[in-house]
A = this chain, B = another copy of it.
Amino acid sequence: MYRAPVEDIAFTLKHVAGMKSGLDAGAFGDLGEDLVDAVLGEAGRFATEEVAPLYKIGDEHGAVLKDAAVTTPPGWKELYRRWIDGGWNALSGPEEYGGQALPTMLGVAALEMWNSAAMAFGIGPTLTMGAVEALDKHASEDLKAKYLEKLVSGEWMGTMNLTEPQAGSDLAALRARAEPAGDGTYRIFGQKIFITYGEHDFTDNIIHLVLARLPDAPAGTRGISLFLVPKFFVNDDGSLGGRNDVFCSGLEHKLGIHASPTCTMIYGDGFQGARPGAIGWLIGEENKGLACMFTMMNNARLCVGMQGVAVAEAATQKAIAYANERRQGKAAGYVGAGMAPIVHHPDVQRNLLTMKALTQTARAISYCCAHAIDMTRVSDGDEAAHWRDRANLLTPLAKAFSTDVGVEVASLGLQVHGGMGFIEETGAAALYRDARIAPIYEGTNGIQAIDLVTRKLPLGGGEHVHGYIAELKASADQVRTSNRDGFGRTADALDAALGDLTQATAFLQKLSADGRTDQALAGATPYLRLISLAAGGAYLARGALADQGRTALCRFFAENLLGEARALKERVIDGAESLAAAGKTLISA
């Protein structure tokens, strides 16, 4: 079973993602390494001892809907209670409302551990934290006063209500409507689908954040507003009042994360005889809802990226443990009696090392993204702008690369288990099932790649990304000057990959400048993979430079996985024409 890799996480935060220098420079106020270690250690203990044991029952039992009420799997409600009692929901929440305001880096590190232990558990609080952030930044003081404290503590949970059957990736197609009631509130009508933890028994109240259109709002995304719709009304003394006209009409039967209720939510249909119209309060300005929601979504994208890292870590641990137990055949390197543990077979080692290296690269990228978010908060002026650009650049990498890695690593992990991997009891299959949603929700990975190419490469007049590549190159240079034998051809491999990255970047920037967007979009996904692999390689090198024990894995990555970079560059530069030509044949008459 999963054991939180606290040391690995702490190392990556401090020595790869930049937390150590931040701490040393006093960037995070009083926060010191002792507290960081204590928080990570305790989170690791909770994830390992409390969350992980409930994974299996969660997967097998799932969430159950009866009479518009959802029951979570046995023990999960109590787990959530212990979890918020431990203060975990409040970790990075605003101090003003009872949060501990710890850096995002610590928040996502803890989040990784909850998600490794049980992804269906980890996804719930992610939505609450997103709601906290959106309210904190955009809501009126009244709304903040009424809702934030209990959302920060986790006594209530939050949800994000975007998707409708016809409006998934394209929110312009949204139809849910909001009518001003004349008393400052609005009446909300419509159906939302795929609402994670839209209904459940963890908390007494659920605070829905809902996108809807006002009457006469402009068409498209400029006519969308954001509303707060509580399940139960909240009296001025904070006690709960009557039931709002919102209810869960169905749960999806999903491939994975069975314990996480994925709800169809009906707003304003006269639930239980109520006067139709769910009562909602506007967050931010009318018709500016999408901007408010993006506050949540950027955060959520990094959080979903952590799910990719998390599943990859859990799958890697499980596969390494199995490979050390299971004995089959003879292996040249094994001198013991009888059959060799399969971990001695080179082909099994190749799978396990690929899993380990990909997991660590995805983790490093995601933590670096969190670091940039933290630095944005503690700096100002040009420096803040620099870190904001960095966070924006790394968000699609953290989301898409990490979740692709989650799927790939879970699949390799299942493979290492042989026939046992296909049997549900083993648990490898459950990770393979759970992992598969993360490349889809919070913006599909294809949309992340498009975001990267069309919105992130132009940051800083197109210079930000080149500055980033130069930083990565500095790590490659350090590898070269280290003259450490164990690095093998790492420096050459990094240089080659970073050279490919530079070329592909300049090429895509030129296409965009020339207005050839469609050609750039054709290369978006290979480009996202290319920059992620090159960055990941440099981050592994940074880790190895700080800790010699990490050299071998860094070299394995450089010499076995980084070679893909060149083919990716070629796809970016030379792939679009043939894609367009062949793509036409896919379209039905």
Which residues of A come within 8 Å of B, CB atoms?
Answer: 163, 166, 168-170, 172-173, 193-194, 252-256, 320, 323-324, 327-329, 332-333, 339, 341, 343-353, 356, 407, 411, 414-415, 418-419, 421-425, 429, 432-433, 436-437, 439-441, 444-446, 449-450, 486, 488-489, 517-518, 521-522, 524-525, 552-553, 555-556, 558-560, 563-564, 566-568, 570-571, 574-588
CB-CB < 8 A to A343: which residues of B?
A: 586-588
Which 9 interchain pairs have the tightest Cβ spacing? A563-B567, A349-B583, A552-B582, A347-B446, A255-B429, A556-B582, A346-B522, A170-B328, A170-B329
Dominant SS among interface residues on chain A: helix
**A194 to B328, alpha carbons, bound, how many Å?**
17
25 contacts between A and B (CB under 8 A): A170-B328, A173-B328, A173-B339, A194-B419, A253-B423, A254-B423, A254-B429, A255-B414, A255-B422, A255-B424, A255-B432, A323-B586, A332-B517, A346-B524, A347-B521, A347-B522, A347-B525, A350-B522, A350-B579, A407-B411, A422-B440, A556-B578, A556-B582, A558-B578, A566-B567
Give which listed residue, B324, B328, B552, contacts A588 with CB less than 8 A. Answer: B324
Contact A252 B567 (CB under 8 A): no
**A418 to B429, alpha carbons, bound, how many Å?**
21
Give which listed residue, B421, B423, B586, contacts A353 with CB less than 8 A. Answer: B586
Q: In the complex, what's the smallest C-beta–C-beta distance from A159 to chain B, in angstroms?
A: 16
Contact B581 A555 (CB under 8 A): yes
Q: In the complex, what's the smallest C-beta–C-beta distance from A342 to chain B, in angstroms?
A: 8
In the complex, what residue of chain B is closest to A583 when comparing beta carbons? Answer: B349
Contact A350 B525 (CB under 8 A): yes
In the complex, what residue of chain B is closest to A252 when comparing beta carbons? Answer: B423
- Beyond the given pairs A173-B328, A353-B582, A353-B583, 18 more chain A to chain B contacts, judged by CB atoms under 8 angstroms and listed by A's residue number, are A253-B425, A254-B429, A346-B580, A347-B525, A349-B582, A349-B586, A350-B525, A411-B436, A415-B446, A419-B441, A421-B440, A429-B436, A432-B436, A486-B581, A489-B574, A555-B582, A559-B570, A564-B567
Contact A488 B346 (CB under 8 A): no
**A524 to B347, alpha carbons, bound, how many Å?**
8
Q: In the complex, what's the smallest C-beta–C-beta distance from A358 to chain B, in angstroms?
A: 13
Contact A328 B446 (CB under 8 A): no
Q: In the complex, what's the smallest C-beta–C-beta distance from A324 to chain B, in angstroms?
A: 4
Contact B560 A575 (CB under 8 A): yes
Q: In the complex, what's the smallest C-beta–C-beta distance from A524 to chain B, in angstroms?
A: 6
Contact A578 B563 (CB under 8 A): no
CB-CB < 8 A to A327: which residues of B?
A: 166
In the complex, what residue of chain B is closest to A425 when comparing beta carbons? Answer: B253
Known pairs A353-B582, A424-B253, A432-B255; A560 contacts B571 (CB<8 A) = yes
In the complex, what residue of chain B is closest to A353 when comparing beta carbons? Answer: B582
CB-CB < 8 A to A576: which residues of B?
A: 346
In the complex, what residue of chain B is closest to A167 when comparing beta carbons? Answer: B328
Contact B439 A415 (CB under 8 A): yes
**A585 to B349, alpha carbons, bound, how many Å?**
10
CB-CB < 8 A to A332: which residues of B?
A: 517-518
Q: In the complex, what's the smallest C-beta–C-beta distance from A257 to chain B, in angstroms?
A: 9
**A163 to B418, alpha carbons, bound, how many Å?**
12
**A253 to B570, alpha carbons, bound, how many Å?**
44
CB-CB < 8 A to A432: which residues of B?
A: 255, 436
**A465 to B293, alpha carbons, bound, how many Å?**
58
Contact B419 A578 (CB under 8 A): no
**A414 to B327, alpha carbons, bound, how many Å?**
35
In the complex, what residue of chain B is closest to A450 when comparing beta carbons? Answer: B347
In the complex, what residue of chain B is closest to A576 when comparing beta carbons? Answer: B346
Contact A587 B344 (CB under 8 A): yes
In the complex, what residue of chain B is closest to A569 when comparing beta carbons? Answer: B563
**A351 to B446, alpha carbons, bound, how many Å?**
9
Contact B555 A586 (CB under 8 A): no
Q: In the complex, what's the smallest C-beta–C-beta distance from A357 to chain B, in angstroms?
A: 8
Q: In the complex, what's the smallest C-beta–C-beta distance from A354 to chain B, in angstroms?
A: 10
**A588 to B334, alpha carbons, bound, how many Å?**
12
Give which listed residue, B433, B558, B564, contacts A564 with CB less than 8 A. Answer: B564
In the complex, what residue of chain B is closest to A518 when comparing beta carbons? Answer: B332
**A586 to B346, alpha carbons, bound, how many Å?**
11
In the complex, what residue of chain B is closest to A444 when comparing beta carbons? Answer: B418
**A345 to B586, alpha carbons, bound, how many Å?**
11
Give which listed residue, B252, B518, B564, contacts A346 with CB less than 8 A. Answer: B518
Contact B583 A559 (CB under 8 A): no
CB-CB < 8 A to A486: which residues of B?
A: 581
Interface centre among A327, A346, A445 (most CB of B within 10 A): A346
**A256 to B518, alpha carbons, bound, how many Å?**
38
CB-CB < 8 A to A423: which residues of B?
A: 252-255
CB-CB < 8 A to A436: which residues of B?
A: 411, 414, 421-422, 429, 432
**A423 to B327, alpha carbons, bound, how many Å?**
37
CB-CB < 8 A to A348: which residues of B?
A: 446
**A332 to B560, alpha carbons, bound, how many Å?**
38
In the complex, what residue of chain B is closest to A424 when comparing beta carbons? Answer: B253
Contact A518 B333 (CB under 8 A): yes
**A501 to B328, alpha carbons, bound, how many Å?**
31
Q: In the complex, what's the smallest C-beta–C-beta distance from A447 to chain B, in angstroms?
A: 8
**A568 to B559, alpha carbons, bound, how many Å?**
11
CB-CB < 8 A to A163: which residues of B?
A: 419
CB-CB < 8 A to A256: which residues of B?
A: 422
Contact A583 B424 (CB under 8 A): no
Interface centre among A327, A449, A574, A586 (most CB of B within 10 A): A586
